[in-house]
């Protein structure tokens, strides 16, 4: 069994204790140090060279982002744990692989740990995962770009339709969000996602065909029977994308 070493960093003793209780359920994990402030955290990380660090953000003297920056050359997997949701976007500008809002339920901590344990290869050799952060009121969700099939606007809400793997990862086929399509469009790379209609954004890699029916254009995507309309102004761009794909396949 490949044991992974862990450091817990939090200025609240109760938070460290709760996290310790969950980690002790995993024979694959060994806690090698704990720290209650940023300066001690940096020391411990540099000395112990852990595989995993659970890191609080608001702490005395140096905060979690200071710690992450000071130890960025150490190859560990970072999970932020904080009582504040508004740090999420900044957190994923670091090398964090997860972001949990305290008090994090044990099952959410367990899910993050399982994600690390069952990885196929070391984090530093993997292609960086591109992600989108959504809030569905109950909790924040981190959605990998590869898990998105398409996004549709329904009244004042947006519905994110997930791929089969995305549905398995999040135990749901769709996620409702109050983010506008303009907001989604700004966060998603235009090379991968197309705003092909005022009410729809699709993941281009999921595109199967462009259809013309009843004087209107529609697209069909892998994993769904939905007929997604294409605005007249975007048809030319979509045809060019399909033509490029055919050239690559030859």
Domains and CATH numbers, the chain: 4-128 (3.40.50.2300), 140-249 (2.40.50.1020)
121 pLDDT more than 60: no
Concatenate the DSSP letters of all residues of 124-183 into one string. Answer: GGSPPPPEEEEE-SS-EEEEEGGGEEEEEEETTEEEEEE-HHHHHHHTSSEEEE---HHH
> Residue 104: how many CB atoms within 10 A of its CB?
24
60 pLDDT more than 90: no
> Residue 8: how many CB atoms within 10 A of its CB?
25
Asked if 179 and 158 touch (Cβ cutoff 8 Å), the reply is: yes
Structure tokens at 179: 């983010």
> Residue 13: how many CB atoms within 10 A of its CB?
10
* Among 209, 205, 224, CA closest to 162: 224
Given this model, what pLDDT does residue 225 score? Answer: 87
Structure tokens at 100: 């949990």
Structure tokens at 208: 């199967």
Confidence of residue 52 (pLDDT cuts 50, 70, 90): very high
Asked if 56 and 19 touch (Cβ cutoff 8 Å), the reply is: no
Given this model, what pLDDT does residue 165 score? Answer: 86
Containing H/E element for 191? none
Concatenate the DSSP letters of all residues of 230-242 into one string. Answer: E-GGGHHHHHHHH
Q: How far apart are CA 31 and CA 8, in angstroms?
A: 8
The C-alpha angle with vertex 83 and arms to 94 and 69, in degrees rounded to 5, equals 25
Which of 26-30, 103-107, 134-138, 148-152 holds the top average pLDDT? 148-152
Asked if 113 and 22 touch (Cβ cutoff 8 Å), the reply is: yes
22 pLDDT more than 80: yes
Q: C-alpha distances in angstroms, 122 versus 116, 127, 143, 182, 189? A: 9, 10, 21, 35, 26
Phi, psi of 64 (to 5 degrees): -60, -35
106 pLDDT more than 90: no
Confidence of residue 73 (pLDDT cuts 50, 70, 90): confident
213 pLDDT more than 70: yes
Q: Which of 94-98, 118-122, 203-207 has the lowest mean pLDDT?
A: 118-122
């Amino acid at each position: 069994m490949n044991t992974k070493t862990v450091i817990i960093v939090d200025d609240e003793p109760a938070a460290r204790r709760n996290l310790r209780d969950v980690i002790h359920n995993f024979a694959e994990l060994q806690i090698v140090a704990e720290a209650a402030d940023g300066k001690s955290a940096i020391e411990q990380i540099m000395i112990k060279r852990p595989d995993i660090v659970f890191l609080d953000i608001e702490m005395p003297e140096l905060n979690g982002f200071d710690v992450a920056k000071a130890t960025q050359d150490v190859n560990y997997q970072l999970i932020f744990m904080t009582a504040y949701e508004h740090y999420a976007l900044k957190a994923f500008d670091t090398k964090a692989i997860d972001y949990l809002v305290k008090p994090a339920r044990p099952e959410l901590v367990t899910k993050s740990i399982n994600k690390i344990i069952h990885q196929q290869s070391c984090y530093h050799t993997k292609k960086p995962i591109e992600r989108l952060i959504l809030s569905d009121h109950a909790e924040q969700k981190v959605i990998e770009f590869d898990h998105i099939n398409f996004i549709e606007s329904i009244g004042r809400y947006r519905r994110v339709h997930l791929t089969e793997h995305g549905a398995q990862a999040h135990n749901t086929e769709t996620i409702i969000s109050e983010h506008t399509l303009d907001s989604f469009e700004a966060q998603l790379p235009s090379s991968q996602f197309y705003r092909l209609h005022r009410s729809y954004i699709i993941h281009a890699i999921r595109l199967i065909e462009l259809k013309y029916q009843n004087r209107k254009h529609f697209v069909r995507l892998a994993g769904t029977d939905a007929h997604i309309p294409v605005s007249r102004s975007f048809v030319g761009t979509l045809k060019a994308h399909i033509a490029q794909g055919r050239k690559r396949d030859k």
